[in-house]
Amino acid sequence: MKLTFLEKIKRTETIKSFRFSSQENVTFIPGQFTRLIFDEDRKDNRTLNKYLSFSCAPGKAYIEVTKRVSDSEFSRRLDGLRRGERVLFASPMGNCVFSEDYKKIGFLIGGIGVTPVISILEYVVERNLNTDALLLYSNRSSDDIAFKNELDAWSSQAPGIRIIHKIGRIDKDAVTRHMPDGRERVIFIFGPPAMVGAMKDICLEAGYAKDMLKTENFVGY
C-alpha cells in the first residue's frame, strides 16, 4: 500500500514521528508494526527498507510511525520527506498485540521501544476501556522521554493508566517494587534483543509466568 506523507512531529532532540494519510483504510492491531520501503525494486534492501512500529491507535485519519533519527540513509530519506510524497508500506504484521480481553497489562520499556506502547495506550483511552495498565518507562535523561505529554495526559485522564518514568536502566528491584502484581498482568516487552532478553529474565526470576510475557525484538531498526 502506498501512503501519502502529511507531516513530522518532533518528540525529542533525536526522535520524530511521521504521519501519513490513511485514506486507504489501513487497519492494524495496537502493537503491530509495518515496513517502509524506499527501494521498491529491491525489497530485500535492508538499508532503505526498514521496520517501524505504529505509534498511534488504529482508526484515525492518519497512521503514524516514530523513529530515532540518525545519520543512516534510511533516516535521511524519512526525515527528508515532503508533504504529498508517496511511500510504499508493507501490510501490518506482528503478534505482540493488545486484546480487549486483557484486563491487566504491564510494559517494561526503554527509549524508542515505547512506540507500540503508544498505539496500545491511545487505543485504551480513546475507547474508554476498563484496562489496568502500568508502564515502567526507562530513559537516559528526562530530555529523552518521548511522548511525555501524551503519557502524562492519558494517566490523568484514565484512572487505570499509571506511568512510571525511570532515569537509568530497569533492574529487578524496580520491576518488583513498581509491579508487585506482575503475576496478574500480561506484560509487554518491546525493544532491542539484548534489552528484551534482560527484561524477560528479570520477570522469570521474579516468578512471573512465562506465558504472560509478550515480547517483540526490534531488529534492523
Per-residue confidence (pLDDT) for residue 179, from 0 to 100: 96
Residue 98 DSSP code:
-
Q: Render pLDDT for 52-86 as a digit per residue (tens, 0 to 9).
A: 999 999 999 999 999 999 999 999 999 999 999 99
Residues 118 and 212 in one domain: yes
Per-residue confidence (pLDDT) for residue 22, from 0 to 100: 79
Cell of 206: 521474579
Which CATH number fits the domain that encloses residue 44?
2.40.30.10
76, burial (CB in 10 Å: exposed 0-12, middle 13-18, buried 19+): exposed
Give the 3-state DSSP-derived string for 162-193, with helices as H, strands as E and coil as C: EEEEEECCCCHHHHHHHCCCHHHCEEEEEECH
Q: Which residues have C-beta within 8 Å of that of residue 207, sequence separation ≥ 6?
A: 183
Q: Return mean pLDDT, the chain.
A: 95
Is the confidence at residue 103, as pLDDT, over 70? yes
Residues 59 and 114 in one domain: no
Q: Which residues have C-beta within 8 Å of that of residue 142, sequence separation ≥ 6?
A: 165, 167
Average pLDDT over residues 86-113: 96
Among residues of the chain, what percentage have pLDDT more than 90?
95
Is the confidence at residue 111, as pLDDT, over 60? yes
Give residue 26's pLDDT band: very low, low, confident or very high (50, 70, 90). confident
Q: Is residue 211 a part of any domain in this protein?
A: yes
Per-residue confidence (pLDDT) for residue 203, from 0 to 100: 97
Q: Is residue 98 a part of any domain in this protein?
A: no
Range of the domain at 10: 2-89
**Structural domain tally of the chain?**
2
> What is the C-alpha to C-alpha distance for residues 110 and 124, in angstroms, rounded to an integer?
21
Residues 139 and 43 in one domain: no
| The last residue of a domain, from among 36, 58, 89 | 89
Q: Render pLDDT for 154-191 as a digit per residue (tens, 0 to 9).
A: 999 999 999 999 999 999 999 999 999 999 999 999 99
Is the confidence at residue 220, as pLDDT, over 80? no
Is the confidence at residue 221, as pLDDT, over 80? no
Residues 159 and 196 in one domain: yes
Q: Is residue 34 a part of any domain in this protein?
A: yes
